[in-house]
């Protein structure tokens, strides 16, 4: 069946390259929907969506951008315009997948548009920066980054093959559909190595009741991805067992999910059970990377590349206040479960992070600031005791009407 692939990019400086890819896509029996994001030069061929339309969607005009000669402003306008246009076209059912090619600027514009699309829509970015840290470009979406190897500028024996491979890849993506499978309600769960037994037990219980559990590693990206899927309406309920990313946000660790963590389920009314899992630890890379201000604190080398900082009383008190602030926004069912015998493997009696005073500071601050109608269950277990996992899972099942 013929599909439509959106081709997004600058048709002034890279027009011939996009024409080449367009012809390859059409040779496979598909249609190319071309969206022009160029500003300065004349497009090499006429696009289906003109640069004037993109600029207007971004709140300006091509004439104004050309007159201003401010590359930063042009990037901002065309990024916003491309994002608006691409999402509108997708919502109208105008394309099945999207592809672009470019350097750092073109990658920034194109991926801003790609990030507006739901997970599962094929997204391919051929980029000069694809071999480096692409987290800012990919965000929480399933964008496939393909290194261009050489600059996306003209044709040579390498670039011609790369462009052809890219055309074949996006065609293959839109042609391929997953085999049919039973559609079960989705549960999101968060996990760390230090909470694995708890999450695995809770997952088994949820799956036995007919749910499919998506487990997100609480590494910053994991938390952000989970929140984005909740916002997009994919998730029926949340087992937020591992909220450690807030420890990194508070302490300046390397695995923060940002200041909006814990907001999506609250704002969308998605049923959620929240546990302060692994808030006893903030994450840094190798021991030498730990900031000087923490060198005399309780540090644990989890492996040669990861060093954990034990959070103290003040940091835990702050997290208790933050959790209350976020959960107080809840418009749906929510409950908090607190394991009194430790929030991680390391935070259990006799282990390096056992610190009842710090744990108590979190509990006291949370309860002092939490809405009175949000229940807090304090259980005499470690987070990884099976009885604790059962209680957490059963509460979410109750919220979902499946208990």
Together in a domain, 161 and 234:
no
Among 136, 156, 175, identify where a domain stops.
175
Q: What is the pLDDT of residue 181?
A: 82
In a domain, 131, yes or no: yes
Q: What is the pLDDT of residue 268?
A: 98
Other C-beta atoms lying within 10 Å of the C-beta of residue 291: 12
Together in a domain, 247 and 360:
yes
Q: What is the pLDDT of residue 1?
A: 85
Give me the domain span that covers residue 382.
Answer: 186-399
Each of the 403 residues of the chain gets a pLDDT tens digit; together they read 899 999 999 999 999 999 999 999 999 999 999 999 999 999 999 999 999 999 999 999 999 999 999 999 999 999 999 999 999 999 999 999 999 999 999 999 999 999 999 999 999 999 999 999 999 999 999 999 999 999 999 999 999 999 999 999 999 999 999 998 888 999 999 999 999 999 999 999 999 999 999 999 999 999 999 999 999 999 999 999 999 999 999 999 999 999 999 999 999 999 999 999 999 999 999 999 999 999 999 999 999 999 999 999 999 999 999 999 999 999 999 999 999 999 999 999 999 999 999 999 999 999 999 999 999 999 999 999 999 999 999 999 999 998 6
CATH number of the domain enclosing 99 = 3.40.50.12020
Read off φ and ψ for residue 222, nearest 5 degrees: -60, -45
* Number of domains into which the chain is organized: 2
Residues 75 and 105 sit within 8 Å (Cβ to Cβ): yes
In a domain, 180, yes or no: no
Half-sphere exposure of 328 (CA within 13 A, CB side): 13
Q: What is the pLDDT of residue 192?
A: 96
Contact residues for 148 (Cβ-Cβ < 8 A; gap 6+): 101, 126, 127, 128, 130, 159, 162
Together in a domain, 96 and 193:
no
In a domain, 58, yes or no: yes
For tokens 């037990």, name the residue: 201
Together in a domain, 376 and 329:
yes
SS3 state at 145: strand
Together in a domain, 170 and 208:
no
Edge-first strand order for the sheet with 123-127 is 31-36, 4-9, 97-102, 123-127, 144-147
Q: What is the pLDDT of residue 182?
A: 86
What is the reported pTM?
0.86
Together in a domain, 170 and 287:
no
Q: What is the pLDDT of residue 355?
A: 98
Q: What is the pLDDT of residue 52?
A: 98
Together in a domain, 211 and 353:
yes
Together in a domain, 76 and 100:
yes
Q: Minimal CA–CA distance to 267: which of 337, 189, 334? A: 334
CA distances from 31 to 24, 64, 135, 225 (A): 10, 32, 30, 31
Other C-beta atoms lying within 10 Å of the C-beta of residue 161: 11
CA pair distance 25, 164, nearest whole angstrom? 9
Among 175, 198, 221, identify where a domain stops.
175
Together in a domain, 211 and 115:
no
In a domain, 342, yes or no: yes
Together in a domain, 162 and 289:
no
In a domain, 62, yes or no: yes
Angle at 221 between CA 217 and CA 224, to 5 degrees: 100
In a domain, 181, yes or no: no
Contact residues for 102 (Cβ-Cβ < 8 A; gap 6+): 9, 10, 14, 109, 110, 126, 127, 128, 152
Together in a domain, 287 and 355:
yes
CATH number of the domain enclosing 259 = 3.40.50.12030
Among 152, 175, 198, identify where a domain stops.
175
Together in a domain, 275 and 387:
yes
Half-sphere exposure of 180 (CA within 13 A, CB side): 0
């Amino acid at each position: 069946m013929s599909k439509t692939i959106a081709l997004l990019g600058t048709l002034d400086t890279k027009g011939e390259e996009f024409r080449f890819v367009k012809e390859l896509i059409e040779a496979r029996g598909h249609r190319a929907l071309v969206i022009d994001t160029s500003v300065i030069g004349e497009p090499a061929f006429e696009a289906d969506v003109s640069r004037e339309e993109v600029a207007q969607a971004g709140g300006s005009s091509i004439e104004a951008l050309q007159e201003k000669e401010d590359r930063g402003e042009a990037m901002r306008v065309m990024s916003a315009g491309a994002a608006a246009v691409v999402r509108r076209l997708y919502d109208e059912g105008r394309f099945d997948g999207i592809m672009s090619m470019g350097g750092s600027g073109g990658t920034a514009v194109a991926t801003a548009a790609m990030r507006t699309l739901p997970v599962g829509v094929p997204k391919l970015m051929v980029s000069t920066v694809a071999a480096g840290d692409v987290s800012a470009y990919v965000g929480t979406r399933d964008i496939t980054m393909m290194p261009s190897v050489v600059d996306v500028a003209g044709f040579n024996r390498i670039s011609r093959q790369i462009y052809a491979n890219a055309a074949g890849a996006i065609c293959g993506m839109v042609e391929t559909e997953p085999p049919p499978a039973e559609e079960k309600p989705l549960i999101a769960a968060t996990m760390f190595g230090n909470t694995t037994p708890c999450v695995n037990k809770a997952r088994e219980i949820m799956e036995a009741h007919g749910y499919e559990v998506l487990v997100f590693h609480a590494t910053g990206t994991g938390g952000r991805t989970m929140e984005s899927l909740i916002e997009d309406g994919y998730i029926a309920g949340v087992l937020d067992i591992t909220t450690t990313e807030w420890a990194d946000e508070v302490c300046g660790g390397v695995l923060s999910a940002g200041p909006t963590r814990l907001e999506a389920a609250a704002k969308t009314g998605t049923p959620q059970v929240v546990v302060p899992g692994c808030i006893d630890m903030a994450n840094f890379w190798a021991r030498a990377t730990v900031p000087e201000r923490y060198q005399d604190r309780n540090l644990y080398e989890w492996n040669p590349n990861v060093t954990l900082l034990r959070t103290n009383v003040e940091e835990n008190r702050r997290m208790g206040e933050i959790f209350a602030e976020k959960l107080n926004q809840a418009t749906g069912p929510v409950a908090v479960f607190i394991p009194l015998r430790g929030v991680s493997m390391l935070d259990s009696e006799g282990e390096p992070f056992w610190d009842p005073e710090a744990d108590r500071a979190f509990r006291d601050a949370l309860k002092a600031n939490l809405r009175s109608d949000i229940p807090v269950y304090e259980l005499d277990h470690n987070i990884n005791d099976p009885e604790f996992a059962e209680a957490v899972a059963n509460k979410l099942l109750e919220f979902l009407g499946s208990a």
